[in-house]
Amino acid sequence: DIDLNSRGEGAKGKDGGAFRLSIVNAVWGQKGLEFFPDFLDVLAENYGTGLGILDFASEPEPSRITINDWVSKQTKGRIKDLIPPGSIDSKTGMILTNAIYFNAAWKYKFGENPTSDDTFDLLDGTKITARMMQETEKYGYALGDDYQVIEIPYDGDELSMVILLPDAGQYENFESSMDYGTAENITSNILKRLVRLEMPRFNFESEFNLNSVLSAMGMPIAFSPLAADFSGMTRDEHLYIADVIHKGFVAVNKSGTEAAASTA
CA distance 74 to 79: 9
Q: Is residue 81 located within the same domain as residue 96?
A: yes
Report the pLDDT averaged over residues 139-162.
94
Contact 199, 116 (CB under 8 A): no
Q: Is residue 136 located within the same domain as residue 209?
A: no
Q: Is residue 86 located within the same domain as residue 143?
A: no
Q: Is residue 239 located within the same domain as residue 255?
A: yes
Q: How many domains does the chain have?
A: 2
Maximum pairwise Cα distance, the chain: 63
Q: Is residue 99 located within the same domain as residue 123?
A: no
Position 162, amino acid:
V
Q: Is the pLDDT of residue 168 over 90?
A: no
> Considering only 14-23, 146-155, 229-238, which range has the smallest mean pLDDT?
14-23
Q: Is residue 119 located within the same domain as residue 246?
A: no
End-to-end CA distance of the chain: 18
What pLDDT score was predicted for residue 116?
Answer: 80
Q: How does residue 124 score in pLDDT terms, banded at 50, 70 and 90?
A: confident
Q: Is residue 35 located within the same domain as residue 116?
A: no
Q: Is residue 138 located within the same domain as residue 96?
A: no
Q: Is the pLDDT of residue 2 over 60?
A: no
Q: What is the CATH number of the domain that holds 53?
A: 3.30.497.10
What pLDDT score was predicted for residue 16?
Answer: 60
The CA distances from residue 213 to 5, 60, 100, 216, in Å, are 27, 27, 20, 5
Instruction: Characterize the bridge pairing of strands 94-105 and 51-54.
Output: unpaired
Positive/negative CA dihedral, 131, 135, 138, 143:
positive
Report the pLDDT averaged over residues 150-172.
93
Contact 178, 223 (CB under 8 A): no
Is the pTM value of this prediction over 0.85?
yes
What pLDDT score was predicted for residue 1?
Answer: 44
Q: Is the pLDDT of residue 78 over 90?
A: yes
Domain boundary among 200, 219, 253: 200
Domain boundary among 176, 200, 224: 200
Q: Is residue 218 located within the same domain as residue 87?
A: yes
Domain boundary among 153, 172, 200: 200
Contact 56, 30 (CB under 8 A): yes
Which residues form the domain of 82? 2-104+203-263
Q: Is residue 165 located within the same domain as residue 217?
A: no
Per-residue pLDDT tens digits for 218-253: 999 999 999 999 999 998 878 999 999 999 999 999
Q: Is residue 100 located within the same domain as residue 211?
A: yes
Q: What is the CATH number of the domain that holds 143?
A: 2.30.39.10
> Considering only 53-57, 155-159, 209-213, which range has the smallest mean pLDDT?
155-159
Per-residue pLDDT tens digits for 23-73: 999 999 999 999 999 999 999 999 999 999 999 999 999 999 999 999 999
- Closest C-alpha among 221, 214, 149 to residue 182: 149
- The beta-carbon contacts of 140-147 under 8 Å, at least 24 apart in sequence, are 140/190, 140/191, 140/192, 141/190, 141/191, 141/192, 141/193, 141/195, 142/186, 142/189, 142/190, 142/191, 144/186, 144/189, 146/170, 146/173, 146/174, 147/174, 147/186
Q: Is residue 195 located within the same domain as residue 211?
A: no
Contact 27, 43 (CB under 8 A): yes
What pLDDT score was predicted for residue 123?
Answer: 87
Q: Is the pLDDT of residue 111 over 80?
A: no
The residues, any chain, with a CB within 8 Å of residue 198's CB and separated by 6 or more, are: 118, 132, 133, 134
